[in-house]
Amino acid sequence: MSEGSTHLRINGAVATVTFERPHARNAMTWRMYEELAENCALIAAQSSSIRAVVFRGAGGKAFVAGTDIEQFRAFASGRDGVAYEAKVNAYVEAVENLPVPTIAMVEGWAVGGGLALANACDMRIATPGARFGVPIAATLGNCLSAANIRRLSSRLGEAWVRRMLIFAEMPAAEQLSACGYVSAIVEPDSVDSHIAALCEKLTRHAPLTIQATKEMFRRLALDADADDTDLIEIVYGSADFREGVSSFTEKRPANWTGS
């Protein structure tokens, strides 16, 4: 089995993470998951200079078609499933907890673990006819963890998640754009220019505002009464806030430094 790779490229303020196993529709191997975690750690460590992250699959046929099924042949008991779900949860958290804006560029299929990774991003862009789902009730007969069902339900809505899991439905991007889950549908020959324009826009936004907003969403998903005092204090006490007030009153672009 070709192990594939999860490749990180940083170009100025934009990082691109590419799942590279196109002959298997980028189905994730353990190595690819481990490289994903390593790449997320590198991005987090450089969050003062990286302002946007794009996740996409190689080959244009799929984002990620789940975890490679061959790896499940080694499972000997239900405890292996518990360990697997815990590992996947940690990899999804690595994407979800990135302090910079994240975009999933979905071409083709985002299935199972691939849907979990796309769902962990702040925004999903798709090509026409791209499909999203977790058809395990009709295929493998496994289940998702409560953590990943919570994540999917909070962003996509419980009704759609029930349809995906119980009825094994694979809605198209066009269906999910109606509820805002897919932010834009872009023709394949316009993908690169669309992503470049979106990332360029993000690089002009206040990074501490974005970081605090993302962290607040993360906390609220776990606790509706989450404490926000530390985040508010950091942002309002920052040089960027003072720069924002000055630039706004002086009618000039702000020079954000992330400090």
Which string of DSSP letters, residue by residue, matches 126-143? Answer: E-TT-EEE-GGGTTT---
- Identify the pLDDT of residue 17: 98
Question: Which pairing describes strands 5-11 and 123-126: parallel, antiparallel, or unpaired?
Answer: unpaired
The letter for the amino acid at 24 is: A
- Identify the pLDDT of residue 213: 97
Q: Residue ranges of the alpha helices (H) in 7-142?
A: 30-45, 78-96, 113-119
- Identify the pLDDT of residue 77: 94
The radius of gyration of the chain from alpha carbons, rounded to an integer in Å, stands at 19
CB 87: neighbour CB atoms within 10 A? 15
pLDDT tens by residue, 46-82 = 988 999 999 999 999 999 999 999 888 899 999 999 9
pLDDT tens by residue, 176-221 = 999 999 999 999 999 999 999 999 999 999 999 999 999 999 999 8
% of the chain beyond a pLDDT of 90? 94
pLDDT tens by residue, 6-31 = 999 999 999 999 999 999 999 999 99
Give the mean model confidence (pLDDT) for residues 230-240: 97
Specify the DSSP element, H or E, that contains 62: strand 62-65
- Identify the pLDDT of residue 48: 87
Question: Which pairing describes strands 62-65 and 109-111: parallel, antiparallel, or unpaired?
Answer: parallel
pLDDT tens by residue, 90-132 = 999 999 999 999 999 999 999 999 999 999 999 999 999 999 9
- Identify the pLDDT of residue 109: 96
**Residue 1 predicted with pLDDT over 70:** no
The structure tokens listed for 29 are 């191997």
pTM of the model: 0.94
Rounded CA separation 63/66 (Å): 9
The letter for the amino acid at 89 is: N
**Residue 256 predicted with pLDDT over 60:** yes
Question: In this structure, are residues 91 and 118 in contact, taking their beta carbons and an 8 Å threshold?
Answer: no
pLDDT higher at 35 or 221: 35
Q: List the strands of the sheet with 109-111, edge to edge.
A: 62-65, 109-111, 131-133
Specify the DSSP element, H or E, that contains 103: strand 102-106
Q: How confident is the model at residue 154 (pLDDT cuts 50, 70, 90)?
A: very high
Rounded CA separation 140/35 (Å): 25
User: Domains of the chain by range and CATH?
Assistant: 5-202 (3.90.226.10), 207-249 (no CATH)
